[in-house]
Structure 1
Amino acid sequence: MHKTILACSLVAAALALTGCNEPMYTGPSPGLGDPYPAPINDPQIAVLAPELQPWLGFQPARVTRTETGTMSVEVPMRNLTYEDYQLDYRFIFFDENDMTLTPTMGWAHKPVKSKETVRFTARSLTPDAYNYRLEIKWAR
């Protein structure tokens, strides 16, 4: 029995030592495929803090075009709890090829009282906007 354990230990040590001679790989990681393909993982409304998701209720967005062709978006949201929240939000606009239009909007602050309905609004800077995403997170 001791000979078997000794033999296994020697084999394991030999295998471990052969791996030490190879240089460590420092190139980029190839990454993994996303198990949730778009559009499931690419929503128009993204609540970035998972604990906020069940507490916020979103109504259908109103999307219009202005006289100059820019996209105007308004997303009503209701606080479903009896707590007041301090939220930050931003809109990101995309062109027909789903490429992000720059410059992107900075984060804006929105206080939300208990059971209150608020409206997140934004307007694209160019008429090239074809789609949008609203991102919401806790305020800093």
Structure 2
Amino acid sequence: MLGRAHLAQLRQQYGEIQHAGGEVVVVSFDDAGGVKKLIESHKLPFVFLLDPQREVYQLYGMMYKETGSIVTWKTVLAYLKLRFAGYPKSPPGKDVRQMGGDVVVDRDGIIRFLHRSQHPEDWPDVAELLTYLKQKLQNP
């Protein structure tokens, strides 16, 4: 659910992201049906790449928390905040142990920014990503 909120924030800034020379590509380990529902329910204009084997996640070092708790007080508060804001519950069977992240790659394929989420609520601020895009991609 927290990742969906991040996608909604990216959608709100999508025009500015494109104007800055960026593009949003979402990598998901979900199946095609789940991704289709996500795209339709949140009206997401992004390119989606399906990665059921999580090869891209591994390539960028996005961790899978096999053991231990992934729930922090920040996570609980973030989920409650989203639920009160009207976000639906995460679909049953969703693998919440796979952490995501954000990557900014320039036109030459060089990674300019890499954020690996440590907890479900750990996403970079979209305004900061946009500022970074404007500064780094337009003036490398």
- TM-score of the aligned structures, taking structure 2 as reference length: 0.30
* Greater RCO (CA < 8 Å, at least 6 residues apart): 2
Larger radius of gyration: 1
Give the helix-richer structure, 1 or 2: 2
- TM-score of the aligned structures, taking structure 1 as reference length: 0.30
Give the strand-richer structure, 1 or 2: 1
